[in-house]
Structure 1
Amino acid sequence: MRKFVSRAKRGLLVLSPIALAVAMVAAAAPASSGQEVSPALRAAMQRDLGLSSAQLSQYLRTERLAALQEKKLAAAQGRNYAGSWIEKQANGSFKLVVATTAIRPQKAAGVEIRQARHSFTSLNASKAQLDDVLAHGGRAPKGVYGWYVDLPSNSVVVSVGKGGQKAGIDFVAASGADAQTVRFEIAEEQPSLRMDVLGGYGYLRNPGDGYLYACSVGFSVFQGSNPGYTTAGHCGDAGEVVYYEPSQWTLGVRLGTFAASSFPSPGQTGNDYAWVRLDAVHTPRPTVEGYTSGDVTVRGGTEAAVGAAICRSGRTSGWRCGTIEAKNQTVNYSSGETILNLTRTTACSEGGDSGGSFITGPGQAQGVLSGGSGSCKGKLPNRRTRSYYQPLTPILQAYNLTLVTSP
């Protein structure tokens, strides 16, 4: 971009493109005071960004200016554009910075023009070459956590774990990316997906036999300081890994592993319960997924009476309700297993709902789905539909678990 110049020519003031862009924005949009941000959001921003009220207002004005100018500033710099960002200064105020590979010094009102070595285009090209390794079936080596374009440092940052720098160097070299644009950053911890786990969520096992097996989350629990959830014993064996199911039959983030499981072999008798120990990055919530009916907060585990209304949540049929017909029922399943002490309900269920939550309207957790007859298809209620759940209390006692509740 050309140096800022003013001269008289036929009575006109001629400005450089960047100055013209700044002037146009300033004329079109008055400075924002930041008052349009809700009080709750302002308070959260002040808390988490460490700002005073005055500093936050000044930041919001700078943010507004940046949002309005970004495209104009990039266009003014053309191929020399090396990015723009909001930068906090030592005195706590904020400014908008525009980087350029142009050699000539430049000025613009309200904006700092800073020289850079690599253009925005060249930085993105280097990152794209790293991405292309994955696009063509390659994988990031162990110890390489990720990469991104870092505008203030004018580089492509490759984040590596301790001891992972050699792997990072080899990865960059193999990709063909311009090594001069790359710098390495040592990260303390590898990023991981995190999620709140609710009763009724679907999860999958992938034991490697060519099939995926689906079940549902029961109730959030803790065993000491270890988070987890209850589910049905026939859903998996101790040590098996489970994955969240973001959409049906899609493997999502790893949730954890079966910590313990009880389910008899065909021809034998026993219980049908288990618990999954969550990986530490996930949070068990005192909530049951209500799908289209609204989530239900788990407030306790008081056992409901025969005849009480009860609802269940599961990944296949969602939120379904019925009444408790009987307790302590022995059920002989068609596959040959006999399960003791189940509670019989008129709620419908489908395959994949196993392990899911049974809860009362006031939020009292009852148990996890073991099995059923009939289906959720057709007119409901009907005489054919039954579901059986393993009561929760024996599960908690068997594995020394504490139910996660909310007042």
Structure 2
Amino acid sequence: MPKRKAAIAVGGVAALGAAALLLPNANASQDKNDANAAATGSARTLKATQASGVAAQVQKILGDAFAGSYYDSAKQQLVVNVVSGDHNVIAQAKNAGAVVRQVKNSTRALKAAAGTLKTKATIPGTSWAVDPRTNKVLVTADSTVTGAKWNRLQSTVQGLGTGMATLKKSAGSFKTFVSGGDAIFSQTQQGGVRCSLGFNVTASDGSPAFLTAGHCGVAAKDWSDSQNGQPIATVDQAKFPGNDFSLVKYTDPNTQAPSEVNAGNGQTVQITQAADATVGETVFRMGSTTGLHNGQVTGLDATVNFQSETNPGGTDTVNGLIQTNVCAEAGDSGGSLFTQDGGAVGLTSGGSGDCTSGGETFFQPVTAALQATGATLGNGGNGGNAGNGGNAGNGAGDQSGSADPSASAGDQSGAGGDQIGGSADPSASAGDPSGSGSGASDPSGTGSAGDGSSLTGSH
């Protein structure tokens, strides 16, 4: 039987700026700088993927005094917030290589504020997150939040107290990005469903598989690599709502599923590990609608309240997401979010705006999907468990931050891209939307635009 080679490949032209950033960076002097920093107790020069390890170390040292951390990409340093603490403990944090910054709001107080927002202001078109850069909860309302809803949100934010939260408006509206194009396909009684392959993985039983959005796996069971083709993969696990990921197994156990992303313009990025996100780090998103784009992580454990497309007036709440200012448009849903050094970070879920005006975009963390499904990153096929990356909890090598994914985005099914499923229970903290977007393209499910990372096969 001939083997099918399944690769994560995306159509479209990669943005030149993002493509240039993918070229290897020289860090020959970094080890020397780190040694000098350790000897003097000054801040270390770190890669973003190293920052999370230092952050975890410092958090243990500081205990309750720890109030979050973020990566300063310009200085290549980890900044750690401290609300109080013994001078000796703070000195230990500095010796670990972090920049220590005194702040007002404790982690407990900020999470309590997010919990209040969950209770009093779960309104369609809103999102919030604890942003360590501002030491505040950043709350965003999209263009649909007006009148009494806006007054309710504004009153809730004001009730949190001075210096606890910031409220801003986004010109766009929060929507999922499942729509049209050359991606993965399925047929249901309601019509055609189009989603995107995120990352090839090896299932816990050693079979080749891939991850995609949970709402895709709920919408349809069997998937093809062509619009009217025969199914080549079947959903094994699908979590939506509550999470937004699916594990889909290739029906041919001899399928070769390389762990890589085709970034366009002849560039292929080998995916070697699962990586948690760190606020401030640079990430790349590939989608067949808009090609390759890069930006920064702006929030973790993000909560987004989408307007339900199946329940008029209802809310589809998703939480535990990664928030970025990387642009995306309808058709980019399910596409790969990754780091320059081959870390699989997220699966495109939804957001607002476009690649002309910018906006907010949210991603399901890959680490949580791997942990829940038992899959590993790496080449599948022939019963071999050849994962390059680790399980979701720890990945392989350095992890970049920590995102506690627990929920999912709105879902699309049928040719019209209608959402399915109910609303998920929102978590306490959420993402900080950055950028103001001018409105998300309405997913149609029938457009010609691509849908994130597509699946290409050759016999």
What TM-score does the superposition give when structure 1 sets the normalisation length? 0.46
Could you say which structure has the greater relative contact order, defined with CA pairs below 8 angstroms and 6 or more residues apart?
Answer: 2
What TM-score does the superposition give when structure 2 sets the normalisation length? 0.41
The structure with more radius of gyration:
1
Q: Which structure shows the higher helix fraction?
A: 1
